């Protein structure tokens, strides 16, 4: 059941299951101009909640109306369960070509975790193959620096998946820089990875983690409220922060920015 209504823009809350976190400002400005000249061509879709409404689809249109200080907006009010709303939000965004692959991957993982289902069941509900879902989620195992390279279109997701075979985050990071520097194709990257995997490695003697690093890990865990792991090989290393949702990611980024200031 659904109905078309004019509702207060201020009564609408964001969709908690929205996969998209980045909205292009130029596109938003273009949309605002279009709305001013032609009005809203397509209503947004919402669900009635205890207090006001929850957005299901049309966040860019809703943001544009807020920015234009419009008080009311045309909306299709639908009856929808949490599971249906989550599925709808993912599918609606998948139809757009500019969805960040990591936003997509996070949305799949969140979908599976929230409904306690496996990759096969998620693929069935979303109309995707299990291998596609699995390959997208694997991208979340890449080091943050490599994720940034892909988001900036310096590497492709296919490059990222190929480099994951190297296992070690530090090796993946250094190899990604080489791939980007040499402008290798995916096929050339695959050859490099195969050659690297068959190259005899120097034996590395691992020792227990120094007490100072353990203390730093515990201190950061307490300050940030999340699991922290410090990895060190020689003079290089990584500080790895764990997050399980987009909201948790945003909380950590906000906390780090505040501490930076």
Annotated active-site positions, please?
59
**HEC string for 30-50:** HHHHHHHHHCCCCCEEEEECC
Half-sphere exposure of 24 (CA within 13 A, CB side): 8
- Concatenated DSSP letters for 193-206? HHHHHTSPPPP---
**Strand-strand pairing, 12-13 and 2-8:** unpaired
Inter-residue contact 46 to 39 (CB < 8 Å):
no
Q: Please, what sign has the CA dihedral across residues 182, 183, 188, 190?
A: positive
Strand partners, 3: 77
Which of helix, strand or coil describes residue 84?
Answer: helix
State residue 206 phi and psi, 5-degree precision.
-95, 135
**CA–CA dist 88, 96 (Å, integer):** 13
Residue entry with tokens 């996070």: 106
**CA–CA dist 57, 2 (Å, integer):** 14
**CA–CA dist 17, 14 (Å, integer):** 9
Inter-residue contact 196 to 190 (CB < 8 Å):
no
Which of helix, strand or coil describes residue 53?
Answer: strand
């Amino acid at each position: 059941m659904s109905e078309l209504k004019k509702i207060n823009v201020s009564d609408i809350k964001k969709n908690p299951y929205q996969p998209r976190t980045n909205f292009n400002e130029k596109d938003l400005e273009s949309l605002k101009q279009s709305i001013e000249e032609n009005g809203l061509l397509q209503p947004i879709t919402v669900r009635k909640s205890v207090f006001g409404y929850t957005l299901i689809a049309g966040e860019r249109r809703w943001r544009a109306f807020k920015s234009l200080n419009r008080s009311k907006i045309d909306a299709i009010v639908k009856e929808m369960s949490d599971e249906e709303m989550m599925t709808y939000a993912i599918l609606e965004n998948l139809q757009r070509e500019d969805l960040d692959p990591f936003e997509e991957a996070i949305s799949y993982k969140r979908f599976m975790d929230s409904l306690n289902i496996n990759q096969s069941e998620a693929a069935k509900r979303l109309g995707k193959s299990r291998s596609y879902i699995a390959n997208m989620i694997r991208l979340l195992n890449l080091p943050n620096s490599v994720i940034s390279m892909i988001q900036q279109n310096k590497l492709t997701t296919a490059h990222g998946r190929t480099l994951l075979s190297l296992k070690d985050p530090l090796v993946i990071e250094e190899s990604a820089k080489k791939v980007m520097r040499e402008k290798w194709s995916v096929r050339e990257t695959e050859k490099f990875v195969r050659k690297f995997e068959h190259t005899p490695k120097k034996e590395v003697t691992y020792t227990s983690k120094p007490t100072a690093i353990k203390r730093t890990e515990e201190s950061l865990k307490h300050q940030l409220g999340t699991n922290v792991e410090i990895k060190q090989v020689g003079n290089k290393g990584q500080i790895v922060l764990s997050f399980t949702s987009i909201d948790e990611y945003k909380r950590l980024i906000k906390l780090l920015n505040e501490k930076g200031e």
